[in-house]
């Protein structure tokens, strides 16, 4: 096998459904269709013929997505089976064997694995925890060579919740322009900002930009497996050609629900629900960490559905995760999957009662072994 195991996804798949308390979820507590849709909308879905739709996304759905971005039309949009497929076909559209990429870390590491499997060379530039996760743009510049084809970003960031400032975005665009690189930005958490103020997309800032989006994270609808790419028309046509060899199309019901959810009024309702949940759970998380401030600390996120916690006791993060899962019935995600030991990720988009239950168990465990 030429592709390495994607540790983050494999570990979650193995354990997240087999523990009493799962604290690893990276999105928000999912909706049911009954919670989300009106009776008329549900009736429309039950009357839908379950055939194939347009394989790059229905025109109404692509236009609805296009309306979320500046100077964008349906021809700039490619609908995918989740953002995982979006990442896969974007890499195959923009990269060739021997190309180099420079990737923001920590990050959702799927593209790292895809690039290596393709024969590309991935390099890192860091968000610096000691600087409250601000990006090291000097390091980014230093990592770029004549072979660099793409700068890979995640904004808002997984797992830190950091959101790039306008100046930082402009600085990255300036670097990309000077080196004639593509910018590829994972924007799956766009709209899940704690302050309720949605920050701009990279799309529209430069002609060599492709971004992704999807309903799994900020919209709390992971089961629909609906994602998208936004970029230049010719690149979206190339991406469509690759998707003909992967999943061909997202499901017809996902197309229809996506079109409903992404209309302005419904989108505002969904995002507001999730932001309220995020703020309430973050306050509870801050209070919990403060109870263990001799053992734990973290930089509060600006967006997204998770916190990335640093711990100050001597145990490897995978060993810590395994001990808590096997002995205490609580699953946290080890920092090792991001290449950063002495950290763990907790999802704070869960229902408050489940999060509180998990924190109580973690408190007992920490006091038992590390206090």
Tens digit of pLDDT for each residue in 201-225? Answer: 999 999 999 999 999 999 999 999 9
Same domain, 110 and 249: yes
Q: Determine the pLDDT at residue 1.
A: 55
Measured distance CA(152)–CA(158) in Å, rounded? 13
Which two structure tokens, joined as six digits, stand for 143? Answer: 């990592």
Are 88 and 148 members of one domain? yes
- What CATH number does residue 134 fall under? 3.40.640.10
For the cut 90, the answer to whether the pLDDT of residue 247 exceeds it is yes
| pLDDT digits 0-9 by tens, 148-183 | 999 999 999 999 999 999 999 999 999 999 999 999
Task: Indicate if 213 and 319 belong to the same structural domain.
Answer: no
Question: Is pLDDT above 90 for 234?
Answer: yes
Whether 45 is covered by a domain: the verdict is: no
- Picking from 263, 289, 304, the residue at the C-terminal end of a domain is 263
Range of the domain at 331: 7-32+267-366
Inside any domain, residue 292: yes
pLDDT band at 135 (very low <50, low <70, confident <90, very high): very high
Q: What is the torsional sign of CA 160, 164, 165, 171?
A: positive
Structure tokens that stand for 167 in this block: 């100046």
54's tokens: 């347009």
> What is the predicted pLDDT for the residue at 371?
75
- Same domain, yes or no, for 285 and 309? yes
Residues 70 and 189 in one domain: yes
Question: Is the domain of 130 the same as that of 113?
Answer: yes
Q: Are residues 81 and 165 in the same domain?
A: yes
The total number of structural domains that make up the chain = 2
Rounded to the nearest integer, the mean pLDDT of the chain is 96
pTM: predicted TM-score of the whole model, two decimal places = 0.96
Contacts of 147 (CB under 8 A, 6+ apart): 98, 99, 100, 121
């Amino acid at each position: 096998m030429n592709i390495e195991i994607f540790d983050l996804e494999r570990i979650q798949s193995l354990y997240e459904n087999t523990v009493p308390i799962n604290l690893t979820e990276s999105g928000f507590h999912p909706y049911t269709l009954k919670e989300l849709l009106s009776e008329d909308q549900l009736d429309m879905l039950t009357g839908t013929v379950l055939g194939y739709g347009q394989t790059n996304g229905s025109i109404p759905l692509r236009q609805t997505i296009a309306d979320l971005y500046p100077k964008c039309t349906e021809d700039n949009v490619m609908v995918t089976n989740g953002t995982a497929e979006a990442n896969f076909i974007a890499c195959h559209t923009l990269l060739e064997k021997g190309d180099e990429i420079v990737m923001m870390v920590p990050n959702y590491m799927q593209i790292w694995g895809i690039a290596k499997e393709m024969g590309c060379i991935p390099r890192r530039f860091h968000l610096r925890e000691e600087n409250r996760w601000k990006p090291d743009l000097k390091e980014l510049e230093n990592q770029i060579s004549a072979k660099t084809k793409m700068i890979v970003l995640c904004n808002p960031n997984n797992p830190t919740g950091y959101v790039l400032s306008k100046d930082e975005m402009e600085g990255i665009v300036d670097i990309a322009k000077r080196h004639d690189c593509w910018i590829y930005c994972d924007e799956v958490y766009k709209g899940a900002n704690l302050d309720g103020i949605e920050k701009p997309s990279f799309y529209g800032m430069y002609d060599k930009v492709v971004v992704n989006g999807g309903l799994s994270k900020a919209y709390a609808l992971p089961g629909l497996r609906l994602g998208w790419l936004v970029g230049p028309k010719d690149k979206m046509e190339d991406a469509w050609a690759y998707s003909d060899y992967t999943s061909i199309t997202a499901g017809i019901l996902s197309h229809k629900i996506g079109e409903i959810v992404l209309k302005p009024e419904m989108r505002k309702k969904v995002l507001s629900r999730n932001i309220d949940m995020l703020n309430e759970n973050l306050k509870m998380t801050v209070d919990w960490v403060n109870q263990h401030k001799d053992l734990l600390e973290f930089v509060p996120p600006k967006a997204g559905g998770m916190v990335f916690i640093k711990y100050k006791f001597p145990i490897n993060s995978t060993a810590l995760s395994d001990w808590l899962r096997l002995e205490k019935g609580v699953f946290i995600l080890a920092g090792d999957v991001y290449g950063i030991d002495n950290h763990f990720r907790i999802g704070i988009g869960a229902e408050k009662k489940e999060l509180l239950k998990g924190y109580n168990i973690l408190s007992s465990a920490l006091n038992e072994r590390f206090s």
